[in-house]
Amino acid sequence: MLGEEEDGESRAVGAAAFSVQAEEGDTRQRYEELCSSLNMDGRARCEAWLSYQNMKRNFTLEGNDLHWLARALYMACRKAVPTVSKGTAEGNYVSLTRILCCSEQSLIEFFNKMKKWEDMANLPAQFRERTERIERNFTISAVIFKKYKPIFQGIFRYPQDQPRQQRGRKQRRQPCTVTEVLQFCWVLFVHAKGNFPMISDDLVNYCHLLLCALDLVYGNALQCPNCKELLNPNFKVFLIVGLTEDFHNKDYKVSSDPPCIIEKLCSLYYGLALEAKGIKEHFWKPYIRKIFDKKLLKGKDENLTGFLDPGSFGDSFLRFAIYSANSK
């Protein structure tokens, strides 16, 4: 009887060990798939896995293992590494957005577990402060986006559920849709705010920067051949900024220089006109000229227009989307 009990216990232990190995093998396979989808370099890939294993040996990691591995990857990507010039640089800079998307987790979940990881790993204050800063920026972006859609829908027509147009260089140039303008204006704003650390963490400044983006896109939309299909005919600013009721006639022609509606947008959406104009002149316009110079936006660089025209929008949309995805 005793021998049978010992034999049973031995089989149970063996089965448990096999189960653990199988589970770890499955986790490793999913992790390798995650790294491949992120185009992760070998150094960060190996370092993150070893860090995860060490953490799992010493602490209980509740929940999806792949989510914990995503945190290890995030840290490994941002670790300073030696350079040829004997200095240091941040490692494989994979965007947090891509890590979240590929590991299928929410932003809130990521930051909640990141704080636990920082405590378990006893990370330095500098790294914790950077994580907190990123979390604040994402939180502010979420707040701004809630404001963005109602403002956009006040200026432009309501975005319909339109099939996304395939935009290739050899295809016939198609006019931009309201949905594409909605996406493009937001991407333009998000990328711009990342270039102005001096006004970061400030909700009011970000609101003003958003109004600058809407002002620019509105001025470009006015000059599109399909502007009447883009703009909301009930937009309160039409008559205020010098546009006449003839705007809706087929023979109406808009001035070559787009109107500035920053002040009116501030009055409608509780902005501070003086501060918004200052951000437009000193931050926004130089930034837009810079991306025109880089040929990311295709149009007339002398007055920052033309990038919504059918002959320009497809190229601008693709170039800027690719550039933004690679630089997040």
Confidence label for 236 from pLDDT (cuts 50, 70 and 90): low
CB 268 within 8 Å of CB 237:
yes
Eight-class DSSP state of 281: I
Mean pLDDT of 214-240: 81
Of the chain, the percentage scoring pLDDT greater than 70 comes to 75
Given a cut of 50, is residue 306 above it in pLDDT?
yes
Determine the number of helices (DSSP H) and then strands (DSSP E) in the chain. Answer: 13, 2
- Give the whole-angstrom CA distance, residue 161 versus residue 220: 23
- pLDDT recorded at residue 166: 54
Name the nearest CA neighbour of 152 among 186, 190, 193, 177: 186
Can you tell me which residue has the tokens 């198609």?
Answer: 174
DSSP string, 65-101: HHHHHHHHHHHHHTSEEE-TTS-EEE-----HHHHHH
- Give the whole-angstrom CA distance, residue 287 versus residue 32: 39
- Fill in the amino acid letter for 278: G
Distance of CA 206 to the CA centre of its chain: 15
Of 283 and 168, the structure prediction assigns the larger pLDDT to: 283
- Give the whole-angstrom CA distance, residue 89 versus residue 80: 5
Mean pLDDT of 104-124: 90
- pLDDT recorded at residue 193: 86
CB 237 within 8 Å of CB 254:
no
Write down the pTM of the prediction: 0.73
Mean pLDDT of 306-311: 88
Distance of CA 264 to the CA centre of its chain: 28
- Give the whole-angstrom CA distance, residue 28 versus residue 24: 6
Of 169 and 199, the structure prediction assigns the larger pLDDT to: 199
CA distances for 264 relative to 16, 192, 202, 259, angstroms:
69, 22, 22, 11
Nearest 5°: the CA angle 260, 262, 266 is: 155
Mean pLDDT of 249-254: 62
- pLDDT recorded at residue 15: 40
| 2-27 pLDDT, tens digit each | 455 555 554 444 444 444 455 677 89
Given a cut of 90, is residue 228 above it in pLDDT?
no
Name the nearest CA neighbour of 52 among 119, 117, 127: 117
Phi/psi at 12 (5° precision)? -65, -45
| 272-293 pLDDT, tens digit each | 999 999 999 999 999 999 999 9
Of 22 and 115, the structure prediction assigns the larger pLDDT to: 115
Of 227 and 157, the structure prediction assigns the larger pLDDT to: 157
Mean pLDDT of the chain: 80
